[in-house]
C-alpha cells in the first residue's frame, strides 16, 4: 500500500450554524466534485456516529470560544493508499470556521 504525504490544502468554511458556507475548487476536486450548494448543507449530514459528532462539536466549540486554531492529525485511506492528513479548524469572524 502506498503512503501519501501531500502538503496540499483543501479548504471550506462553515457558518455559525454549522452549514457549509463556501467550498474551494481544490476541495471539490479532491472529493470527486460532490454536489454541495452552500449554505444548505450542514456538516452534521456528513459526520456519522455519536462519538465522532461529539468530538467535532467539542473542537468547533473550542475554536469558537477560545478563539484559537484546533489541529488534529488523521488518516483518510483509500483502498490503494494510506493518506496522512491534518484537520485545521480556524476561528473566523461571526462564528465561522
For 40-61, the pLDDT digits (tens) are 678 898 888 999 999 999 999 9
The average confidence (pLDDT) of the chain is: 82
Q: Is the pLDDT of residue 30 over 60?
A: no
What is the per-residue pLDDT for 45?
86
Note the pLDDT of residue 9.
72
Average pLDDT of span 5-26: 77
- Which sign, positive or negative, has the C-alpha torsion 66, 71, 77, 78? positive
pLDDT value for 47: 87
Q: What are phi and psi of 90, to 5 degrees?
A: -110, 130
Amino acid at each position: 500500500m502506498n503512503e501519501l504525504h501531500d502538503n496540499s490544502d483543501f479548504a471550506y468554511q462553515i457558518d455559525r450554524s454549522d452549514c457549509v458556507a463556501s467550498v474551494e475548487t481544490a476541495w471539490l476536486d479532491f472529493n470527486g466534485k460532490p454536489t454541495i450548494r452552500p449554505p444548505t448543507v450542514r456538516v452534521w449530514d456528513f459526520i456519522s456516529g455519536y462519538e465522532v459528532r461529539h468530538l467535532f462539536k467539542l473542537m468547533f466549540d473550542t475554536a469558537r470560544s477560545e478563539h484559537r486554531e484546533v489541529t488534529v492529525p488523521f488518516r483518510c485511506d483509500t483502498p490503494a493508499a494510506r493518506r496522512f492528513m491534518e484537520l485545521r479548524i480556524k476561528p473566523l469572524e461571526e462564528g465561522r470556521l
